[in-house]
């Protein structure tokens, strides 16, 4: 007999409940929603996982590694713990080389996307890779936190597993692994995550193939460290597993093809008279909602808010350098608290987009509509489709960064001439020649390719190769310099415009020159008369005119860099250069509290710059604040280029205020450092330890321990990059 509809509903519900019980809800559990753009507070140079840019693909989602490998027919899985995307890029490169040169069936995976209970039951034919960045004070990156806790937890299920294959003393004895750590040696906890994970895996009985490798961003040797490590690794891997090496041949993971249509923001039909078909083509809209014009919250990394830029103001009195104060109107759409970060979603300049598209021979076809079909089911597209070549290059590829040596070797087969091919191979294989002829000149990929071929376009390079080989263009972070207590509807940032005078070209920072272009256009000045006559230009109108020349997509990244909840607590702030940004917000907040009758604690602010007449940012504002806060506020300045004999830095001035600093710390002051992560932050920490040792008459080693424990207690906080 047929079931009536009520019986059917009841049966379905019972079925669903049973499934929920046995799968603990995992079947439909949402992928963990971390801020995929999460930036790098002290990230040893490797902020935000680039899985931000995944659109579609990867439809059979499972959190079970064994199942995933079975489903996809892979025998190598390279996991990455990545914050800015660098570790993810290296994982992708390692995986591609394993596939193309050694015939392995390799895939990459975000550590956050899997469970690890069955790590001990992978067969001997499987190899697991770990490419792990170390973050802040020796912490795992956001996407690696759960895995790292799991692997270090002695009570983990797999550690106690009674699987027949598992030796109780070495529960991971069936696991083969390879490992590379990414770190920055100017940080105290250099490469701690990679090193600890390697030790832990060994302790658990896992078998490492090759050596433990690590790269150092502090010395700028990451690329060469990686290349040296992976060459040795593949030799060891060949020996251990008998791999067949053959000449690497590019095998696309995605097929990119043209649809036969064209679409562009310049084309009025896609702006003024949106017909359904034209409107389905992404021209730089960050997601479907924005593409369809349904702009609504909640706003986050995947759905940034199009914020109106209400003010752009020059803060330097330097004839050449610029530092811009930028104010965004966010109304009630975006919530932030003082100390948070603002992420700017950016695009490449017209000049670099044109240079790149011309060198790969796609300039005339730039508005052709393209679609992308993954060939490898594990491939994650980094841009939404359908779209155009121009859009991918402008909004999704990092075309302006330093070139990797390995990329030159891989791109060589697609060279337009024999000479270009030889040159690409020579530079790709000769470390010293590459350093001398490429790296030293700060050239980007388009510059290099054009130079190698004497201007001949590289029309044979598959677009999929570029999409797979170049890093993704990721948002840039800024420490918010406004206080949410003073005005929660406005967010300001303070950005130094990055421009490198290389021998042949000026290399312009992507985000900061976008802000500069916006400022020049807002001010209505003749660009040739602006501070930077070679300033580059951007598509400020945005896709289909949606940014209107005055809006930028932004999202907030919550930070732990916060004022003490008790306004009476004294605070000591060290903020040279743009490190001053969050302290402008802190002090404005305290001034506002004082104005409304709150008793606020002492504030001691150390600021450093080159010269009081050139780069003393917000100089006029500080005088007003000093008046408002009276003896509750002291600003101490250090100028590095005033005295030709001695450069004075904030650390030197801290020594002069040793007694006051110690007194305030004894009264429970919070200590904050913001700005340059590589040298300043470390020297400030060492100076504070020295001050506490001298003032309290305790050994330096005890004072250093004390400072470390203040960090653990969040009394000593850093916002460094």
Residues binding ligand FAD (CB under 6 A): 39-41, 47, 341, 400-402, 442-444, 476-479, 494-496, 498, 500, 507, 509-512, 578, 581, 721
Residue 644 CA: distances (Å) to CA of 139, 175, 341, 393, 655: 41, 60, 36, 46, 21
Cα separation, 553 vs 473, whole angstroms = 14
Give catalytic status of residue 721 as yes or no: yes
CB 679 within 8 A of CB 187: no
Three-state SS at 543: helix
Let me know if 646 is exposed, middle or buried by CB neighbors in 10 A (0-12, 13-18, 19+): exposed
Closest contact distance (angstroms) between CB of 94 and ligand FAD is: 23
Closest contact distance (angstroms) between CB of 618 and ligand FAD is: 13
Give catalytic status of residue 458 as yes or no: no
Ramachandran assignment for 334, one of left (phi > 0), alpha (psi -120 to 50 degrees), beta (any other): beta
DSSP string, 119-146: GGG--TT-EEEEEEEEETTTEEPGGGHH
Task: Cis check for the bond before 249: say yes or no (omega within 30 of 0).
Answer: no
Three-state SS at 115: strand
Instruction: Return the number of the residue (345 or 632) whose C-beta is nearest ligand FAD.
Output: 345
CB 553 within 8 A of CB 305: yes
CA dihedral sign of residues 277, 282, 283, 287: positive
Instruction: Return the number of the residue (423 or 676) whose C-beta is nearest ligand FAD.
Output: 676
Q: Which residue has the tokens 């003896």?
A: 631
Pairing verdict, β 571-574 and 603-609 = parallel
Give catalytic status of residue 28 as yes or no: no
Give catalytic status of residue 674 as yes or no: yes
CB 618 within 8 A of CB 584: yes
Q: Which residue has the tokens 């002069």?
A: 656
With CA atoms as reference, report the closest residue to 284 among 192, 364, 367.
367
Dihedral, CA of residue 439, residue 443, residue 448 and residue 452, to nearest 10: -70
Closest contact distance (angstroms) between CB of 346 and ligand FAD is: 7
Instruction: Return the number of the residue (172 or 580) whose C-beta is nearest ligand FAD.
Output: 580
Closest contact distance (angstroms) between CB of 479 and ligand FAD is: 4
Instruction: Return the number of the residue (458 or 561) whose C-beta is nearest ligand FAD.
Output: 561
CB 408 within 8 A of CB 223: no
Instruction: Return the number of the residue (496 or 648) whose C-beta is nearest ligand FAD.
Output: 496
With CA atoms as reference, report the closest residue to 408 among 153, 223, 585.
223
Closest contact distance (angstroms) between CB of 51 and ligand FAD is: 18
Query: Which residue sits closest to ligand FAD, CB atoms considered?
Result: 509
Pairing verdict, β 213-216 and 207-208 = unpaired
Cα separation, 422 vs 697, whole angstroms = 66
Residue length of the chain: 721
Q: Which of 382, 674, 676, 693 is catalytic?
A: 674
CA 14 to chain centre: 45
Q: Which of 51, 453, 464, 479 is catalytic?
A: 479
Cα separation, 178 vs 322, whole angstroms = 45
Tokens of 107: 């895939």
Please report how the helices 680-696 and 658-666 are oriented relative to each other, as an axis angle in degrees rounded to 10: 80
Closest contact distance (angstroms) between CB of 39 and ligand FAD is: 5
Closest contact distance (angstroms) between CB of 14 and ligand FAD is: 50
Cβ neighbour number for residue 398 with a 10 Å cutoff: 18
With CA atoms as reference, report the closest residue to 675 among 598, 605, 595.
605
391: which residues sit within 8 A by CB, 6+ positions away? 282, 283, 284, 383, 543
Closest contact distance (angstroms) between CB of 344 and ligand FAD is: 8
Residues tagged active-site: 479, 674, 719, 721
């Amino acid at each position: 007999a047929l079931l009536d509809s009520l019986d059917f509903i009841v049966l379905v519900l019972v079925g669903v409940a049973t499934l929920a019980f046995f799968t603990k809800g995992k079947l439909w559990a949402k992928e963990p929603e971390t801020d995929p753009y999460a930036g790098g507070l002290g990230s040893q140079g490797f902020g935000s996982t680039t899985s931000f840019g995944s659109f579609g693909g990867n439809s059979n989602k499972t959190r079970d590694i064994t199942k995933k490998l079975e489903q996809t027919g892979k025998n190598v899985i390279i996991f990455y713990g990545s914050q800015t995307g660098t570790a993810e890029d290296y994982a992708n490169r390692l995986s591609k080389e394993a596939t193309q040169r050694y015939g392995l069936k390799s895939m990459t995976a975000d550590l956050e996307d899997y469970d690890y209970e069955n790590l001990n039951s992978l067969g001997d034919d499987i190899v697991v890779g770990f490419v792990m960045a170390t973050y802040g004070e020796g912490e795992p990156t956001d996407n690696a936190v759960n895995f790292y806790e799991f692997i270090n937890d002695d009570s983990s299920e797999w550690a106690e597993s009674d699987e027949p294959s598992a030796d109780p003393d070495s529960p991971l004895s069936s696991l083969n692994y390879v490992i590379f750590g990414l770190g920055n040696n100017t940080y105290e906890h250099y490469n701690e995550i990679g090193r600890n994970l390697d030790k832990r895996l060994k302790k658990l009985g896992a078998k490492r193939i090759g050596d433990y490798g690590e790269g150092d961003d502090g010395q700028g040797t990451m690329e060469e460290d990686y290349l040296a490590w992976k060459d040795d690794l593949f030799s060891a891997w060949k020996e251990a597993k008998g791999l067949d090496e053959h000449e690497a041949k590019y095998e696309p993971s995605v097929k990119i093809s043209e649809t036969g249509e064209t679409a562009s923001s310049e084309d009025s039909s896609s702006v003024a008279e949106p017909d359904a078909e034209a409107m389905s083509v992404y021209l730089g809209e960050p997601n479907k909602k924005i593409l369809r014009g349904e702009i609504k919250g909640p706003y986050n990394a995947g759905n940034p808010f199009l914020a109106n830029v209400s003010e752009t103001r020059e803060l330097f009195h330097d004839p050449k350098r610029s530092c811009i104060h930028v104010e965004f109107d966010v109304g009630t759409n975006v919530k932030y608290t003082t100390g948070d970060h603002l992420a700017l979603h950016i695009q490449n300049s017209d000049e670099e987009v044109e240079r790149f598209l011309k060198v790969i021979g796609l300039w005339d076809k730039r508005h052709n509509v393209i679609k992308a079909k993954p060939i490898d089911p594990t491939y994650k597209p980094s841009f939404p489709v359908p779209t155009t070549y121009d859009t991918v290059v402008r909004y999704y590829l990092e075309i302006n960064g330093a070139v990797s040596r390995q990329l030159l070797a891989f791109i060589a087969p697609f060279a337009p001439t024999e000479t270009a091919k030889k040159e690409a191979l020579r530079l790709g294989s000769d470390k010293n020649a590459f350093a001398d002829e490429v790296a030293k000149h700060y050239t980007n990929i388009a510059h290099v390719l054009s130079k190698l071929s004497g201007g001949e376009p590289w029309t044979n390079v598959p677009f999929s190769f570029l999409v797979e080989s170049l890093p993704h263009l990721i948002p840039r972070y800024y420490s918010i310099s406004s206080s949410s207590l003073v005005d929660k509807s406005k967010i300001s940032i303070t950005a130094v415009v990055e421009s490198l005078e290389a021998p042949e070209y000026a290399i312009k920072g992507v985000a900061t020159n976008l802000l500069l272009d916006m400022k020049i256009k807002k001010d209505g000045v003749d660009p040739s008369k602006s501070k930077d006559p070679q300033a580059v230009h951007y598509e400020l109108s945005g896709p289909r005119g949606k940014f209107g020349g005055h809006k930028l997509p932004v999202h907030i990244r919550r930070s732990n860099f916060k004022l003490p909840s008790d306004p009476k607590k004294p605070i000591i702030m060290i903020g040279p250069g743009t490190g001053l940004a969050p302290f402008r917000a802190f002090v404005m907040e305290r001034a506002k509290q004082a104005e409304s009758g709150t008793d606020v604690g002492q504030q001691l602010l150390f600021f450093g710059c080159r010269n009081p007449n050139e780069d003393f940012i917000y100089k006029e504002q500080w005088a007003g604040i000093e008046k408002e806060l009276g003896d509750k506020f002291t600003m101490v300045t250090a100028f590095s280029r005033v005295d030709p004999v001695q450069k004075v830095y904030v650390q030197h001035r801290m020594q002069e205020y040793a007694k006051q600093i110690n007194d305030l710390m004894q009264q429970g002051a919070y200590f904050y450092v913001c700005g340059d992560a590589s040298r300043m932050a470390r020297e400030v920490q060492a100076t504070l330890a020295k001050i506490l040792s001298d003032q309290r008459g305790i050994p330096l080693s005890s004072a250093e321990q004390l400072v470390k424990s203040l960090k653990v207690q969040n009394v000593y906080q850093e916002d460094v990059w």
